[in-house]
Amino acid sequence: MMENGDETEKKPVTIKQYANRRLYNTESSSYATLDQLCDMVKEGRDFVVYDAKTGDDITRAVLTQIILEQEGKGENLLPVSFLRQVISFYDDGLGVVLSKYLEQSMKAFAGNQEKIRNLMRGTFGEFMPMSQFEAWGRHNLAFFESTLDMFKSEGKTQSSPANDDTTFGDRSNDIQDLKKQLEQMQSRLNALAINPRNN
């Protein structure tokens, strides 16, 4: 019986969005707000959002709305330059690589979340080990480069050398821009380490 209970806990909550944009939580049989869905995300509770009329999965769109609402409240986690860079990768051959890279990077960051919090709260006193942040930055850059190498090798097996050289030659500026963006994000982490803010 406990196994069935565990399966129920792991099953995503179904949220339905109606034509009037209202969200309905089928688990609690009540309407929900974006703030409540945001709290569910923070609590680690998974949910899936469907359009009540068409049955389409619109989870991605609703999660994006949650991010927009949080950004609108002044909690600006996404730099404007980063947003511009992400937009530029839509309809781009490297978009798939970027998507996988961001996903893996966020998983790695989340895995170290508690460690980062402890550092920011001054667990180690006044001394903030900047070398740790720098090491994470180097690791992220190395991971990104290895992802690109894998993507290049796959592209060479699926296309002619001439086309492959042209494709990645045209993308070199985008790759450099993305590396610069990662360095900027590293600088933001360094700044936070120097001037920690309590949440």
Q: What is the pLDDT of residue 76?
A: 81
Residues contacting 22, CB < 8 A, separation 6+: 31
CA–CA dist 104, 140 (Å, integer) = 9
44 dihedral zone (left: phi>0; alpha: psi -120 to 50; beta): left
Domain ranges of the chain: 2-72, 80-194
- SS3 of 8-74: the string is HHHCCEEEEECCCCCEEECCCCEEECHHHHHHHHHCCCCEEEEECCCCCECHHHHHHHHHHHHHHCC
Q: What is the pLDDT of residue 118?
A: 72
Supply the pTM of this predicted model: 0.55
Collect the ranges in the chain with pLDDT lower than 50. 1-3, 5, 8, 124-126, 158-168, 196, 198-199
Q: What is the pLDDT of residue 166?
A: 47
Q: What is the pLDDT of residue 192?
A: 58
Q: What is the pLDDT of residue 56?
A: 96
Q: What is the pLDDT of residue 79?
A: 86
